[in-house]
Amino acid sequence: MKIPLILALLPALAFTEVPPAGHVHTPDVDLAYWVLGTPKAATPVIAVNGGPGLSHVYMIQNDVWDRLAKGRQVVLYDQRGTGASKLIKPDAPEGMDAQVADIDAIRAHLGFETADFVGDSYGGLLVMAYTAAHPEHVRRIILSDSAAPVRKDMVHLFSEVFPDKMEEQKRLDDSKAPVTTEPDHGLRDHFRLIFYSEERMNEYLAKAKDLGSSPVGAAVNRANANLDLTPALPKFHCPALVITGRYDMNVAPLTAWKIYKAIPGAKFMAFEKSGHLPSYEEPDKYVKVVNDFLK
């Protein structure tokens, strides 16, 4: 089994997608964004999804973001080249500088002088990079089962926890024999390893029609291969909350613990009955923890 270098490859869900609230036009890409909630006194939240190479769709697999949008605006968007954010230039850069510029373009377009940022999975890396580049626009950050600030510090536990499944998958890969009619069976095999609850995993997969993937993900990984945000974390001055699923085999809790230790004054929260997706496996607790931190 080929494990993604950075974070969960998650499904497009089986429901009708809501059209974008709007687009931000840049020379490289038309960035699609969605807005939940209505403007209130609370600071708006920009939620940044993982991947890389996937759309925001997996972030709205349940009603967590609708619940978090009560009393504030929540903005989700598709990263360049994914979902509804179509590249204008096929050879547009995919590196971190470009990704950070996209987030800032959306923030400026919506007129947010400051915002709170929630980064899920690979999105956590984007939020760290944005905070380092634009601290003046960041009030608080939440890093949820985030990627490590440098690739070499990423801790995957699949081989240690699932040696039987990994060996069987390698045998099937080596044989090159068709094992299923599912075109995305490799991603589904991967996805079955990132949940704490088998019931939640089956529920989630039942909603997915096509796990798919995108060449954008590979391009982003290549562009960020030498990225190291480690020196930036001790310079963060905004309140930070680092979340991890206790049984996250995709990005082990040690990764979250090291991020927490590196950011001055950060808070740490482990979800005891979650894998890589606490927002899906423990949604009530997730909403409470996020709301309490953002108040």
2, part of any domain: no
5, part of any domain: no
Residues 6+ apart with CB under 8 A from 46: 75, 77, 103, 106, 107, 112, 115, 116, 117, 118
Helices (H), 42-95: 64-68
pLDDT at 76 over 50: yes
171, part of any domain: yes
Q: Lowest-confidence range among 5-19, 137-151, 269-283? A: 5-19
Q: What token pair was written down for 73?
A: 């605006």
6, part of any domain: no
Arithmetic mean of pLDDT, 209-217: 68
Domain of 231, CATH number, reads 3.40.50.1820
DSSP, residue by residue, 106-147: HHHHTT-SSEEEEEETHHHHHHHHHHHH-GGGEEEEEEESPP
Arithmetic mean of pLDDT, 204-215: 69
67, part of any domain: yes
With beta carbons less than 8 A apart as the criterion, state whether 243 and 140 touch: no
Q: Lowest-confidence range among 41-55, 133-147, 187-201, 256-270? A: 187-201
Count of domains forming the chain: 1
48, part of any domain: yes
Q: b/e per residue, 220-244, with b = 16+ CB within 10 A?
A: bbebbeebebbebbeebebbbbbbb
108, part of any domain: yes
Q: b/e per residue, 148-181, with b = 16+ CB within 10 A?
A: bbebeebbbbbeeebeeebeebeebeeeeeeeee
Arithmetic mean of pLDDT, 19-24: 93
**Model confidence pLDDT, tens digit, residues 173-207:** 777 655 555 545 666 777 789 999 999 999 888 87
Instruction: Return the percentage of the chain with pLDDT > 70, whole number.
Output: 87
The reported pLDDT for the residue numbered 278 is 97
Query: What is the residue range of 42's domain?
Result: 12-294
Model confidence band, residue 75 (pLDDT cutoffs 50, 70, 90): very high
109, part of any domain: yes
Q: What token pair was written down for 65?
A: 């973001």
